[in-house]
Structure 1
């Protein structure tokens, strides 16, 4: 009876841990989408809401840390269960950083002047959509322990990087042609860089999902000779 109770308690803790990670993923994705909407619309109120909500992500990360440490200390998980807990710990930190990047984007909304003059601004939402989709899909992979989807998300990061390079070239040309816009354009370059980093962090989550699902690191997988 005691063993059965212990197993049920452990299962409940793992379920809670996964629920916290899922909530963090949802908040991170929302922060990306709303920060870009705020940027496109010039909505300071929406930007302020993104900034204020970031505190919830910080709190959830702390909850994940506490719960994961409790599980390790009291349950001494091994094999699949230990990978699950370690992956959750790492993923929580990554999602918190994604929230920070979205917050940084929101903070720049008030610094973009004469936004109607910025043709490059029309490219940023498309890039952000790609990055947000990566976050959404990697959280789907996490929920399903879908290693194949995790790999697919990682492969998509190259498109986000290429988009960033295109925006960078476009923005530099725009600044050369319109010197009066340099300050605002520089802020938009930082926005694009933040989006590129979000894509990088989505790949980091995907690597943890892959490890939790397969007990292999992607680097080990790719370094093996083909049969």
Structure 2
């Protein structure tokens, strides 16, 4: 599920940058598949808890896997949202070259990849490293907002307002993906150390 979700985010940014409606539609159409994966995982965990009555660390692990799956499903929803905007803007000239949005996407995807590896390997140091990057994602999202808003207010035409809103929405979705990676990192730390942390 993690690989499929990360690929959906990557491809949604490709659809935006390349203005490719086929890629956008591919992401939109696979959203139900990821939603169904969450349902299957939820059913398996519920059945496992009901039949095996796990205790202690095994119960904690089961609950952590469920939380991770929910985080991944939300990330997939953000990828779908980005793909929908890419589809909407496919025939428009962008108000500026897309530089910072792909940078934020790369950061968020790196955080997600590392968070998943940390969870699977039980690597608390990696999980902490992911959590520490959350502020960087927040700052980059803020920079995108300021840059776009300044451009529209100082040089803009009224027609730029809609695109500015859409690009800010994309930046916010990517920042939320970074937040979900941080959630996975925090859950990894809790699972393997018993310490509840919040970054």
TM-score range, shorter chain: over 0.9
2:105 is the counterpart of 1:128:
yes
1:184 is matched with 163
2:23 is the counterpart of 1:51:
no
CA contact (8 A) 2:111 2:181 kept: yes
TM-score (norm 2): 0.94
CA contact (8 A) 1:83 1:215 kept: no
1:72 is matched with 49
Which structure has the larger Rg over C-alpha atoms?
A: 1
Shift in Å, 1:114: 3.1
Question: 1:165 aligned to 142, 165, 170, which one?
Answer: 142
Take 1:171 and 1:70, find their aligned partners in 2: how far apart are those partners?
A: 49
| Residue-pair matches, total | 196
CA contact (8 A) 2:5 2:75 kept: yes
More helix by share: 1
Take 2:94 and 2:141, find their aligned partners in 1: how far apart are those partners?
A: 21
Question: 2:93 aligned to 110, 115, 118, which one?
Answer: 115
2:66 is the counterpart of 1:89:
yes
CA contact (8 A) 1:111 1:184 kept: no
Take 1:202 and 1:134, find their aligned partners in 2: how far apart are those partners?
A: 6
The runs of 4+ residues in structure 1 deviating greater than 4 Å are none
CA RMSD of aligned residues (A): 1.4
Q: What do the CA deviations read for 1:116-170 (whole angstroms, capped 9, x no partner)?
A: 4423x22100110000111111110111011111111000011111101110010
Take 2:186 and 2:125, find their aligned partners in 1: how far apart are those partners?
A: 11
1:194 is matched with 173
Gaps of 5+ in 1: 1-23, 223-227
CA contact (8 A) 1:28 1:95 kept: yes
2:144 is the counterpart of 1:152:
no
1:139 is matched with 116
